[in-house]
Chain A
Amino acid sequence: NAGVTQTPKFRVLKTGQSMTLLCAQDMNHEYMYWYRQDPGMGLRLIHYSVGEGTTAKGEVPDGYNVSRLKKQNFLLGLESAAPSQTSVYFCASSQPQFVSGGLTDTQYFGPGTRLTVL
């Protein structure tokens, strides 16, 4: 049981180049998320998905696109990378459940992808 995995772990791009980050989870979770983490800014949600074939915008979606063609995979694309997209990107998944007492939706995170855009 690998949990949440991300590829690649590191990447350096030149301005204007494109790339796709892959996230995979083996916990059969419905929800998946892409975050970016920047010094002094904390974690910010880019896009998320509540199920196969669905995606939605988060707090900072501009410059990114996503796809959830299979339940276990969530792809994050940068069509034309900019230096402002230099960051550490984290993928997470969860399976929200309403139980007695309320909502439980523990998020499980991948190890991250460190992206530098020159």
Chain B
Amino acid sequence: KQEVTQIPAALSVPEGENLVLNCSFTDSAIYNLQWFRQDPGKGLTSLLLIQSSQREQTSGRLNASLDKSSGRSTLYIAASQPGDSATYLCAVHYTGANSKLTFGKGITLSVRP
């Protein structure tokens, strides 16, 4: 079964720390991998999309990497701020007929002032 796993489920760090959020997936045959942010009571906001042929994408303080051979992606957040507190979801678009995004359950991040 094609799955996406995010561990740990929750993370608490002090402000200013650089941190890495992990995502693992079970099949290297993918179109792309996406990272989303979800604030409490809100919808999901797309942060970064990494195509299958790419190794990383960057947006501001965020950097996402992709290693298909090992089935892993990381989201790196530099100099974390309390405003970064949210749930971060990883989603993989596996290849195959009629395939759609498969979501991980997310990592809830709390950045302490």
Task: Mark A residues whose CB is within 8 Å of B.
Answer: 4, 33, 40-43, 45, 48, 56, 58, 90, 92, 99, 101-112
Contact = CB atoms under 8 A, between A and B. Distances in A.
Given A43-B91, A106-B46, 17 more contacts: A40-B105, A42-B103, A42-B105, A43-B103, A56-B98, A101-B52, A102-B31, A103-B51, A104-B32, A104-B49, A104-B51, A106-B49, A107-B34, A107-B46, A109-B36, A109-B44, A111-B43
A33 B100 contact: yes
Contacts of A102: 31-32, 51-54
A45 B100 contact: yes
Overall SS of chain B's interface: strand
B70 interface: no
Contacts, number: 61
A5 B28 CA distance: 34
Nearest to A98: B31
Contacts of A101: 51-54
A58 B51 contact: no
A99 to B, nearest CB: 8
Contacts of A112: 41-43
Contacts of B49: 104, 106
B104 to A, nearest CB: 7
Secondary structure class of chain A's binding surface, majority of residues: strand
Interface residues of B, number: 25
Q: Identify which of B44, B91, B98, B103 gathers the most chain A CB atoms within 10 Å of its CB.
A: B44
A42 B104 contact: yes
Given A43-B103, A90-B43, A109-B45, A103 B93 contact: yes
Contact of B42 (A40, A45, A107, A111): A111
Interface centre among A43, A99, A103, A108, by most chain B C-beta atoms within 10 angstroms, is A43
